[in-house]
């Protein structure tokens, strides 16, 4: 059993854009005294489970936006300490759009704030706070890979699914441990960035040729993980159980602190049974 992205990459490599626009969408997230899990269109967008009380990040959204129109946004805010949210818990979101992601010299055309939201002040003991909403986005592409090819893994027997996913994670882990990058596979995986991030083929070739060797970091054993589904049950990954990032991660060789992760998302072809990376 192996991963083959040849078919998917061929479609994306020759993709014809719907128009000449090249917008980029971003979500600014500011948090204090809480953890969170954010999804756009049920795709993994942003998680925070680090041991620090405040965090600020700007998350690119294009790879979670599959086509123009209404996009779903779901947020779960979780306790930083204990079983209930702190009265000092705070989460602020700002949705932003840059009109031209190819115009780097002019700040991508300048940002426009489309939407802002702040979590209400916590007045009572709550185990979590959840919010679901939608926003509009207009992009020059339509990615229908999941609809065309992906099996609904939520209907698959978990006792069969986990060993298959683990086997593919073990393969990837061995490649990284032995510095045996498959440049063709990496080039195929990056073809979705050609469409959603507007990367040139030259840029993709450059990225796929980069080594993942990290001289000051130690790849950690593949253990203490849990299976997680995204994309309405069609995408699967393994997350570690200490900060819920990828189960493939590196630690600083001196301190042992986590310093690097490699996201690895998979879907299963509902026709051929082959596995592909998302």
Quick: pLDDT tens for 50-108: 999 999 999 999 999 999 999 999 999 999 999 999 999 999 999 999 999 999 999 99
What stretches of 89-164 adopt beta strand conformation (E)?
Answer: 90-98, 112-118, 129-137
pLDDT 10s digits, 150-175? 999 999 998 999 999 999 999 999 98
Six-digit token string for 219: 């790849």
Share of the chain above pLDDT 90, in %: 89
- pLDDT-derived band at 180, boundaries 50, 70, 90: low
Short-list 190, 179, 185, CA closest to 212: 179
Tokens representing residue 131 in the block: 């919010």
Interval 4-17: pLDDT, tens: 899 899 999 999 99
**CA-CA distance, 262 to 175, in Å (whole number)?**
12
Longest dimension (CA), the chain: 54
Mapping DSSP onto H, E and C, the string for 193-208 reads HHHHCCCCHHHHHHHH
Whose CA is closest to 72, among 235, 198, 231, 197?
Answer: 231
For the record, the structure tokens of 220 come out as: 């950690």
Q: In 3D, which of 32, 24, 20, 27 has the Cα closest to residue 44? A: 27
Q: Average the pLDDT over each of 120-124, 208-212, 243-247 and give the range with the smallest value.
A: 208-212
Give pLDDT tens digits for 76-88: 999 999 999 999 9
Average pLDDT, the chain: 95
């Amino acid at each position: 059993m192996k991963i083959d992205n040849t078919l998917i990459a061929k479609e994306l490599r020759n993709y014809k854009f719907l128009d000449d626009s090249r917008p980029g969408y971003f979500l600014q997230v500011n948090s204090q005294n809480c953890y969170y899990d954010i999804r756009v269109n049920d795709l993994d967008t942003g998680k925070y489970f680090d041991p620090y009380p405040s965090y600020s990040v700007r998350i690119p959204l294009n790879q979670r936006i599959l086509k123009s129109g209404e996009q779903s946004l779901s947020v779960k805010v979780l306790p930083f300490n204990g079983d209930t949210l702190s009265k000092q818990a705070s989460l602020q979101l700002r949705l932003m759009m840059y009109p031209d992601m190819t115009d780097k010299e002019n700040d991508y055309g300048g940002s426009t704030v489309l939407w802002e939201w702040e979590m209400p002040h916590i007045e009572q003991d709550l185990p979590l706070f959840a919010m679901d909403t939608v926003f509009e986005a207009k992009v020059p592409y339509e990615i229908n890979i999941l609809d065309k090819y992906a099996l609904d893994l939520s209907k698959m027997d978990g006792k069969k699914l986990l060993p298959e996913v683990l086997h593919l994670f073990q393969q990837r882990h061995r490649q990284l441990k032995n510095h045996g990058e498959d440049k063709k596979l990496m080039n195929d995986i990056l073809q979705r960035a050609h469409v959603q991030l507007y990367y040139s083929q030259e840029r993709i070739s450059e990225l796929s040729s980069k080594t993942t060797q990290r001289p000051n970091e130690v790849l950690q054993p593949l253990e203490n993980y849990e299976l997680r589904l995204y994309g309405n049950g069609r995408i699967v990954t393994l997350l570690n159980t200490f900060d819920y990032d990828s189960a493939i991660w590196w630690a600083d060789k001196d301190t042992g602190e986590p310093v690097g992760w490699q996201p690895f998302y998979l879907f299963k072809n509902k026709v051929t049974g082959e596995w592909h990376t998302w």
